[in-house]
Amino acid sequence: MAAPAPSRVRTISKKDPACAICHEPPESRCECEANALQDAINQAEDAFMADAYRQIRQWVSDNAKEYILDHFRSLSAARNDAHTANMERIKAKAFYYRHGPPTQQEIAEAEFMHQRGVDEDWKASVERYPEVLGYYYSLVNFRLPSNDDPVVVNPPIPLSTPPRRKKTNRRASFGGPPPAHPPGYIPGGPPPIPGVFYTRPGATMRNGASSRPPIAYRYSSHSPQGQHFPPY
């Protein structure tokens, strides 16, 4: 019994493509594709995320400003109440000791202390902006689909396919179908002579040789004029 023939294992060599930008071989390890990818990412972000970033920034800014103003208003309200109480004490003290209103210097000192307290309250409120902005930015929620989501695995993006090779008509490539009438045919004239043959020359190559033998067609007076039969 003959030994079975050894099976032929088809080996496929895996080759890395050349750079799609500068066409250098993969061994060159150029940065063209990485730079092009980064440019494409930046363009996609500008096209699809710029509006979202503007909306988020505006929302965070509006809420942070409103919080800071509310915080300052609460401090100002307490500061104004303290200033009003201080002015009442100054008036009462002046009336108790002098039986008259407070002096202009006493009023100016009280107003100066009140203004300094208002400035300190506003400074303390503005210094809280980083904390407040961070809080409102943390409230923004991004939802990304999972990696096994159908919209991720099978995105509705058509894959690029190589162009199909256009089929050529073999007849047209060799000069098309034979003429409907033999050479010398005159419309309305006598029918062609039976048994007369004509040949169509073969295609001529650049070196002058014929790539294929001539094709002969036969006409018969027993068939309609101009009808040709298959070549011999």
Calpha distance 133→65 (Å, rounded): 9
pLDDT computed for residue 232 by the predictor: 39
- pLDDT of residue 107 exceeding 60: yes
Helix or strand holding residue 112 (H, E): helix 104-126
pLDDT digits (tens, 9 = 90+) for 145-199: 999 999 899 888 887 665 555 555 555 444 555 555 555 555 555 555 554 444 4
pLDDT at 67 over 70: yes
Among 6-10, 129-133, 225-229, name the one with the lowest average pLDDT. Answer: 225-229
Distance CA 229, CA 215 (A): 12
Torsion of CA 61, 66, 71, 76, to 10 degrees: 120
223 versus 11: which is more confidently predicted?
11
- Mean pLDDT, to the nearest integer, of 88-113? 90
For the whole model, what pTM was predicted? 0.53
- The DSSP symbol for 127 reads T
**pLDDT winner (highest mean) among 4-18, 100-114, 181-195, 211-225:** 100-114
Q: How far apart are CA 60 and CA 211, in angstroms?
A: 80
| CA–centroid distance for 62 within its chain | 31
pLDDT at residue number 163: 54
Looking at residue 215, what is its pLDDT? Answer: 43
Q: Is the dihedral of CA 92, 96, 97, 99 positive or negative?
A: positive
Q: Does pLDDT of 75 surpass 50?
A: yes
Query: What does the pLDDT read at residue 39?
Result: 94
Residue 142 is predicted with a pLDDT of 84
Residue 209 has pLDDT above 70, yes or no: no
Domain ranges across the chain: 53-141
Band of residue 60 on the pLDDT scale cut at 50, 70, 90: very high
Residues of the chain with pLDDT > 90, as a percent, come to 44
- pLDDT at position 40 is 94
Using CA atoms, how far apart are residues 178 and 228, in angstroms rounded to an integer?
8
**Ranges 35-39, 109-113, 141-145, 197-201: which has the least confidence:** 197-201
Average pLDDT along the chain: 77
Position 29 confidence tier, pLDDT thresholds 50, 70, 90: confident
